[in-house]
Amino acid sequence: MNIIFLGPPGAGKGTQAQRICDALNIPQISTGDILRKAIKEGTPTGLKAKEYVEAGKLVPDEVLVEIIRDRLAMDDCKQGYILDGFPRTVPQAEALEKIANIDCVVELAVDDENLIKRLSGRRVCLNCGATYHVSLLGDRTTCEKCGEPLIQRKDDAPETVLNRLTVYHEQTAPLIAFYESRNLLKRFDGMKGMEEVYQSIMETLGAKA
């Protein structure tokens, strides 16, 4: 199954996508993770993307479409995948329609007040993409999955978070209507606990499989 996860920054896309990909044995394609890795390694894509990512702006569509075209052509995508963080604009969604058949769009809805709390306490592993929240970490400073140190993303700083929420409402939220009109959208209440959200998504995907 080819699935898109759609929702504002902090909605829980990465958290849920990682777990569901493990359960379904399909790859999680997180464009944020791909860009952060490219920036860290200083690749040509990373150099192009750096200033946008750090300012909480969207990286130009053509850069993202090229990344996704290359990634979806890889062998491990044949059995399906979850796109986490792509598409984020209508032009990206239109480009995707030309190269992929999407079966389901999972929308996670969370209000802005909660998003700000989640993002300000988010800690991530840059090595494997695992995501945590300080409220649940206790004394832990390393990743449970791979042992690498956990960090706070620069773009999770309060000023940048507000920017990213505005960008979401202006440029990404229109995709809700885009996929509704194609009968692909499934909306979930992302304010519920992680376990409950996971169960309801799995139920819906199970029914579609």
Residues engaged in binding Zn ion (CB under 5 A): 125, 127-128, 130, 143, 145-146, 148
Quick check: is 186 catalytic? no
Least distance to ligand ADP, CB of residue 192, Å: 6
Quick check: is 187 catalytic? no
Of Zn ion, ligand ADP, none, which one does residue 15 interact with (CB within 5 to 8 Å by kind)? ligand ADP
Of ligand ADP, Zn ion, none, which one does residue 35 interact with (CB within 5 to 8 Å by kind)? ligand ADP
Least distance to ligand ADP, CB of residue 176, Å: 15
82 backbone dihedrals φ, ψ, rounded to 5°: -115, 125
How many Å apart are CA 161 and CA 157, to the nearest integer? 6
How many Å apart are CA 56 and CA 60, to the nearest integer? 12
Quick check: is 13 catalytic? yes
Q: Which of 116, 132, 176, 187 binds ligand ADP (CB under 6 A)?
A: 132
For residue 206, with 0-12 CB atoms within 10 Å meaning exposed, 13-18 middle and 19 or more buried, which class applies?
A: exposed
* Strands lying side by side in the sheet with 81-84: 28-30, 81-84, 2-6, 104-109, 185-189
Quick check: is 153 catalytic? yes
Q: Which of 81, 86, 178, 188 binds ligand ADP (CB under 6 A)?
A: 86
DSSP state of 171: I
Burial 48-81 (b: 16+ CB within 10 A, else e): bbbeebeebebbebebbbebbeebbeeeeeeebb
Beta-strand ranges (E) seen in 36-192 are: 81-84, 104-109, 122-125, 131-133, 150-151, 185-189
Regarding 4 and contact with ligand ADP (CB under 6 A), the answer is no
Q: Which of 3, 4, 6, 15 binds ligand ADP (CB under 6 A)?
A: 15
Write the interaction track for ligand ADP spanning residues 149-178; mark x where CB under 6 A is met and - where it is not: ------x--------x--------------
Task: By CB under 6 A, name the binding residues for ligand ADP.
Answer: 7, 9-15, 31-32, 35, 52-53, 56-59, 64, 85-88, 92, 118, 121-122, 131-133, 155, 164, 193-194, 197
